[in-house]
Each structure stands twice: as structure tokens, then as C-alpha cells.
Amino acid sequence: MYEGDRKAGASVRIDVPEVNVTVGRYDERTR
């Protein structure tokens, strides 16, 4: 699950860097 999210995050990062930042923060909170 985490790996899949990471791959999707990379794709989104190229499209929307702002969203990537939010996802990174969310990932840190989940961790």
C-alpha cells in the first residue's frame, strides 16, 4: 500500500508539486 502511494505521489508531484507537499506532510503524520 505504501509503495503504491509513493508511486502515485511521484506522478502527482510532477503534475502538482503543491499536492505532493501536502501528501508528504500527511505521510509524516501517518508515520
Which residue range forms the structural domain that includes residue 23?
A: 1-31
Q: What's the angle, vertex CA 1, arms to CA 21 and CA 10, rounded to 5?
A: 35
State the total domains in the chain: 1
Q: What is the pLDDT of residue 13?
A: 53
Q: Is 27 left (phi over 0), alpha (psi -120 to 50) or beta?
A: alpha
Reading the chain (31 residues) residue by residue, the pLDDT tens digits are: 556 555 655 555 555 556 666 666 666 766 6
